[in-house]
């Protein structure tokens, strides 16, 4: 791994079969995805985040603020293979039109539950001082990104446990 690759891989075990975990991850995304400016473009304005359930579908966030209805397209679904795998392109609001990274999520049976693994890669294409890096480079950025995804997957695990 070179200093700029900065990919993150995070896993969590959830108490659900792979098909249920996949469904909760995708269909119920807005119910478990954390809220607030650290996790959503809408910040404190609420709104919804959605994955259109098909290859080529959009991943987007929609909200209302003082300017009216807003929408930000995070990316598009690159792989839709329920209940084993999902991947989508990822863009932050600070990305130039040609900049993108990729999120891949796998769902593997693990005893009476599922191991959900997120791999977020492609960050090496963004310069070291890119705003989306929040001042982190290399291994420090990979840790930063891993912690962010860890918080998200903890929310998924909690949602799965609550039914």
So what's the pLDDT on residue 162?
85
**Cα distance between residue 52 and residue 56, in whole Å:** 8
- Strands 58-65 and 68-81, by their bridges, are antiparallel
So what's the pLDDT on residue 5?
59
The per-residue DSSP string of the chain comes to --TTT--EEEEEEESS-HHHHHHHHHTTHHHHS--STTT-TTTTS--EEEE-SSTT-EEEEEEEETTEEEEEEEEEEEEEETTTEEEEEE--TTS-TT--EEEEEEEEEETTEEEEEEEEE-GGGS-TT-GGGTT--HHHHHHHHHHHHHHHHHHHHHHHHH-
* 122-148 pLDDT, tens digit each: 999 899 999 999 899 888 999 999 999
So what's the pLDDT on residue 119?
97
Question: Does residue 75 contact residue 87 with C-beta atoms inside 8 Å?
Answer: no
Residue 91 neighbours by CB distance under 10 Å: 19
So what's the pLDDT on residue 151?
97
pTM over 0.75: yes
Q: For the chain, list residues with pLDDT below 70.
A: 1-5
């Amino acid at each position: 791994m070179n200093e700029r690759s900065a990919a993150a891989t995070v896993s969590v075990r959830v108490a659900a079969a792979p098909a249920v975990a996949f469904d909760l991850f995708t269909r119920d995304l807005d119910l478990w995805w954390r809220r607030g400016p650290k996790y959503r473009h809408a910040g404190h304005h609420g709104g919804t985040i959605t994955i259109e359930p098909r290859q080529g579908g959009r991943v987007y966030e929609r909200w209302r603020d003082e300017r009216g209805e807003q929408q930000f397209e995070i990316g598009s679904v690159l792989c839709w293979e329920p209940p084993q795998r999902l991947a989508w392109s990822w863009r932050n609001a600070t990305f130039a039109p040609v900049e993108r990274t990729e999120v891949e999520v796998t769902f593997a049976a693990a005893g009476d539950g599922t191991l959900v693994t997120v791999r977020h890669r492609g960050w090496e294409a963004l310069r070291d001082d890119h705003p989306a890096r929040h001042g982190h480079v290399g291994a420090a950025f990979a840790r930063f990104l891993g912690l962010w995804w860890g918080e998200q997957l903890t929310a998924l695990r909690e949602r799965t446990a609550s039914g």
